[in-house]
Amino acid sequence: MHTTSRCGLTAAAVLLVGWTASAQDRLPAIPAAQLTPAQQQAVADFRGARNVELTGPFIPLLRSPELMTRTRGLGDYLRYKSRLEPRHSEFVILMAARSWSQQYEWAVHYPIAIKAGVTVETAAAIAERRRPPRLTAEETVLYDFCQELMRTQQVSDAAYARMVATFGEQGVVDTVGIVGYYTMLAMVLNTARTPAPANGAPRLPTP
């Protein structure tokens, strides 16, 4: 006999990505049979754009299908087409994930960042809220800019000038966009309590 959770879904429901709903997961995947037409279209658009199934923050975001679709479109640019090369954008994403202690975001982007060229030593320092000891010149500029922005909600003239000199004005705006985008996703994931995948990536120390 199926049991029904407080969100109205059965514990035995088949999820979009084949996961099992946990007691902690507040907004698990919606069974395909329960999707509204707008949600079905949003899922189809997501698959068409990314050629993968819904996962992570897009599962809770599907409760607002237009928001999910617009969020996915913004992510398509910031992850794959921004002014920052992958090594630098993934470096920024790790900092945003650490700022919000977001385990799912960290678990997904840790291996991507390492593959893109972020060192294990640098990632470990970010996880431990330490300044990484051996940053490249570009990473130093990004680290100082992003940490100042996230810590003080402002950016000094000196940090701004170094960013413009290194990445240009588009790089400044795109970096702020990446921080903001992954901050929003972290808030969604933290609210939904979406579990991190068991992919072998190290977990963030808490808090």
* Predicted model pTM: 0.87
Task: Give 77-116 pLDDT, tens digit per residue.
Answer: 999 999 999 999 999 999 999 999 999 999 999 999 999 9
Helix ranges (H only) for 2-156 are: 37-50, 58-61, 65-80, 86-99, 103-116, 120-127, 137-152
Number of domains in the chain: 1
| Position 200 in a domain | no
Q: Which two tokens stand for residue 151?
A: 């810590």
Non-local (6+) Cβ contacts of 50 within 8 A are 72, 76
Task: Give 132-156 pLDDT, tens digit per residue.
Answer: 999 999 999 999 999 999 999 999 9
| Position 97 in a domain | yes
Spatial distance between the Cα atoms of 127 and 81, rounded to a whole number of angstroms: 26
| Position 5 in a domain | no
| Position 59 in a domain | no
pLDDT at 7 over 90: no
Dihedrals phi, psi of 10, to nearest 5 degrees: -80, 145
10 forms beta bridges with 4
| Position 14 in a domain | no
- CATH number of 111's domain: 1.20.1290.10
Spatial distance between the Cα atoms of 203 and 18, rounded to a whole number of angstroms: 22
Spatial distance between the Cα atoms of 195 and 22, rounded to a whole number of angstroms: 8
Given a contact cutoff of 8 angstroms between Cβ atoms, the answer to whether 175 and 168 are in contact is no
pLDDT at 20 over 60: no
Whether a cis peptide bond, with omega within 30° of 0, leads into 207 is: yes
Task: Give 29-38 pLDDT, tens digit per residue.
Answer: 999 999 999 9
pLDDT at 207: 72
What's the domain range around 123? 82-192
| Position 174 in a domain | yes
Query: What is the percentage of the chain residues whose pLDDT exceeds 70?
Result: 89
pLDDT at 9: 31
pLDDT at 6 over 70: no
| Position 53 in a domain | no
How many degrees, rounded to 5, is the angle at CA 36 between CA 10 and CA 73?
A: 110
Spatial distance between the Cα atoms of 153 and 167, rounded to a whole number of angstroms: 20
4 forms beta bridges with 10
Spatial distance between the Cα atoms of 191 and 172, rounded to a whole number of angstroms: 29
pLDDT at 4: 34
Q: What is the DSSP string of 116-182?
A: HT--HHHHHHHHTT---SS--HHHHHHHHHHHHHHHHSS--HHHHHHHHHHHHHHHHHHHHHHHHHH
| Position 105 in a domain | yes
pLDDT at 16: 37
Given a contact cutoff of 8 angstroms between Cβ atoms, the answer to whether 16 and 59 are in contact is yes
